[in-house]
Chains A and B, each alone.
Chain A
Amino acid sequence: MAGGKGVTAADAEDAYLVKRAREGYVEAYAELVDRHGQLAYRVALRLLGNHHDAEDVAQEALVQAWQQLPGFHGDSAYSTWLYRIVTHLALNRIRGARPADSLDLLGDVHRSREEPVLDVERDLTVDAVTAAVTALPAPQRVAIVLHHFEGLPNEEVARITGSSVAAVRSHLYRGRRALTRTLADWR
């Protein structure tokens, strides 16, 4: 899990890179992509449930983040700002309601070829969790992914989604209940 932290040395380094990227240094932005690109992809993958859409949305988010750097004034962590962009784009994609071409929250690259039996079990588990998460209504899905998968506190989820902490808590309650019911049936 990631996130859920205050201002850190990493945030200060991000601020420096953002400043240089805003001045036009592409290499500074490349460093930001190396630091946070996986965040964009991970969130997109968990919200959308398939690699194809996740790659599209992560790419779009990272290019859009570059284009929107003039509007980023550093009043939040860069990661919070990127979470906002990728969540927004993923929500747009969800509303577009394209069917998923595969179910997997994790990348193929992490699959072990040495333990095929465990691999199958793992894949089934990942598929079940992915299906359960992507079956949630969008607001619950976003709250669950940002809080329980990304480890962000409710206050930051509220900042990212532009809603109140009370609304986030409400979505989390309902999302957790639905997820628990689905996964209890799956077992």
Chain B
Amino acid sequence: MTGPGLPDDSTRALLADPAGTLACGADVDELIEQVADGRAAQLTEHQRECPHCQAALREFSLIWAPVRMVAAEPVRLPAAVRSAVLRQIRKLTADVWYTLEMADGGAIRIAARVVARIARDAARQVPGVRVVFGRSTESRIAGLAEAATLQHRHPHAAAGVLGRTAVVDLALAAEYGQNLDTVARAVQDRAIADLRSQAGLKDITVNVTIDDVVD
């Protein structure tokens, strides 16, 4: 196939010469750059008068047309790749259940099970608490709190953590005869204080369920 300006052989010869210039002295690489950057129609003063430059620009425009066509066509991320990426990330997140804090020196991560343990140990210090363990509560309020950490919470985990936010569920058996409301509030206060001081968490919800009393 022959272009409208230059015959194929002369085009090849021109392109084969590393220091190629047109008969008018114009630099071949600069003309190709002009075409490739989409500026073929923006002729310089010289190019407006020069048949060599105009022929070369037309020829290079034809050669570059397929590149411009391919570059302009949209390419979408295959849905399977998107799903695989998010599945992999959710798995990474689910496997570790870390709190995540970005400090100047890098990321600080504390596993959710550690968060749960700190809360449990704090609760054990509270007078009137006999036995305590972490578990999921089912109240509507706990459900709302859990929803905020849903992606970061194992269905049966005692703690859901997200960034520097944690939702901890504690179930406990209190000592018979205690004011249960006072015990529960003391457990919340103590657990929150310890999680703040030991794990650096900021927003903490501690759900307390007293589901038994023992003598």
How far is A30 from B98 in the complex, measured between Cα atoms in Å? 19
B33 to chain A: closest residue by CB:
A176
Determine whether the beta carbon of B151 is less than 8 Å from that of A25: yes
Determine whether the beta carbon of B70 is less than 8 Å from that of A184: no
How far is A39 from B3 in the complex, measured between Cα atoms in Å? 35
Chain A interface (Cβ < 8 Å from any Cβ of B): 1, 22-27, 29-30, 33-34, 37-38, 40-42, 45, 51, 55, 58-59, 62-63, 66-67, 70-71, 105-107, 109-110, 125-126, 128-130, 148-149, 151, 172-173, 176-177, 179-181, 183-185, 187
Q: A23-B162, A148-B36, A177-B32 are in contact. Are A58 and B100 (CB under 8 A)?
A: no
Determine whether the beta carbon of A184 is less than 8 Å from that of B33: no
Determine whether the beta carbon of A59 is less than 8 Å from that of B74: no
List the A side residues contacting B48 at CB < 8 Å. Answer: none
Determine whether the beta carbon of B163 is less than 8 Å from that of A37: no
Determine whether the beta carbon of A63 is less than 8 Å from that of B88: yes
How far is A42 from B37 in the complex, measured between Cα atoms in Å? 20
How far is A173 from B20 in the complex, measured between Cα atoms in Å? 13
List the A side residues contacting B15 at CB < 8 Å. Answer: 177, 180-181, 184
Among B78, B98, B102, contact of A107 (Cβ-Cβ < 8 Å): B78
B59-112 with Cβ < 8 A to chain A: 60, 62-64, 66-67, 69-78, 80-82, 84-86, 88-90, 92-93, 98-100, 102, 106-107
Determine whether the beta carbon of A30 is less than 8 Å from that of B76: no
How far is A25 from B85 in the complex, measured between Cα atoms in Å? 15
List the B side residues contacting A1 at CB < 8 Å. Answer: 71-72
Chain B interface (Cβ < 8 Å from any Cβ of A): 1, 3, 8, 11-12, 15-16, 18, 28-29, 32-33, 36-37, 60, 62-64, 66-67, 69-78, 80-82, 84-86, 88-90, 92-93, 98-100, 102, 106-107, 151-152, 161-164
List the B side residues contacting A51 at CB < 8 Å. Answer: 78
How far is A41 from B78 in the complex, measured between Cα atoms in Å? 8
How far is A187 from B106 in the complex, measured between Cα atoms in Å? 54
List the A side residues contacting B98 at CB < 8 Å. Answer: 24
Determine whether the beta carbon of A105 is less than 8 Å from that of B85: no
Determine whether the beta carbon of A41 is less than 8 Å from that of B106: no
| A-B residue pairs in contact (CB < 8 Å), sample of 14 | A25-B163, A37-B85, A38-B74, A41-B78, A63-B88, A66-B85, A106-B70, A109-B78, A126-B70, A177-B32, A179-B67, A180-B60, A181-B16, A187-B63
How far is A51 from B37 in the complex, measured between Cα atoms in Å? 27
Determine whether the beta carbon of B75 is less than 8 Å from that of A106: yes
Q: A38-B77, A59-B85 are in contact. Are A187 and B67 (CB under 8 A)?
A: no
Determine whether the beta carbon of B29 is less than 8 Å from that of A176: yes
